[in-house]
Amino acid sequence: MTLELIIFIAAILFGIFIYWQESRNNGVYRFFNKVINSKALQMKPHDRTGFVYQQSFLLRVVFVGFLYLIAIVIIRFLIPIDVATISIFASMIVGTLVGTYLANFIFKSSEVIEEQAESLEDIMQDTIEKGKDILDDLTRKDETLSEQIKEAEPKVEEKSARERLKDKGLL
């Protein structure tokens, strides 16, 4: 279980790395595209699609699964120890897919933040000003409320000391 968890986390990092690398340069995908497809079906020069970058979920699963199958076959011939079990294979595929979607989320959110940086600053300033206004209103209401309570209290006429002594029968 510990080995699977370590491989899963490593696969997430590998998925992030693959996505980042293909977002910068998709040369390997272009090479396979030129080898496999005819001239009319080849991708356009401005197309940024890669094996996992800007692909649908199903194609990502196919490409990542095929990548790990090739890697397991190569490792199997180099090291005759049976390390690649089905659970490790599945955790590698799922971890890589999670990593690609995590990288996609990070890239998209950074683009949105860059685009909206000025408006976010304005929104934050407006929010801070509104918060200050609310605090001022609350403090003013507390002061006016205490003044209203003092004014609303019925004023009891106080007796003088002489009258109080007379009431007690001391004078």
Spatial neighbors of 63 by CB under 8 A, at least 6 apart, are 51, 52, 55
pTM: 0.59
Residue pair 48/27 in contact (Cβ under 8 Å)? The answer is: no
> pLDDT tens across 144-158, in order?
666 666 666 666 677
Residue pair 65/40 in contact (Cβ under 8 Å)? The answer is: no
Is the predicted pLDDT of residue 50 greater than 90, yes or no? no
Instruction: State the average pLDDT for the chain.
Output: 81
The secondary element (H helix, E strand) that includes residue 68 is: helix 57-78
How many angstroms separate the CA atoms of 20 and 97, rounded? 13
Instruction: Supply φ then ψ for residue 42, to 5 degrees.
Output: -70, 155
Residue of 102 and 26 predicted with greater confidence: 102
At residue 13 the predicted structure's pLDDT band, cuts being 50, 70 and 90, is very high
How many angstroms separate the CA atoms of 57 and 65, rounded? 12
> pLDDT tens across 62-114, in order?
988 998 888 888 888 888 777 667 788 888 999 999 999 999 898 888 877 77
> pLDDT tens across 156-167, in order?
677 888 888 888
pLDDT at res. 155: 62
pLDDT at res. 96: 92
Amino acid type, 171: L
How many angstroms separate the CA atoms of 84 and 72, rounded? 7
Instruction: Supply φ then ψ for residue 49, to 5 degrees.
Output: -65, 140
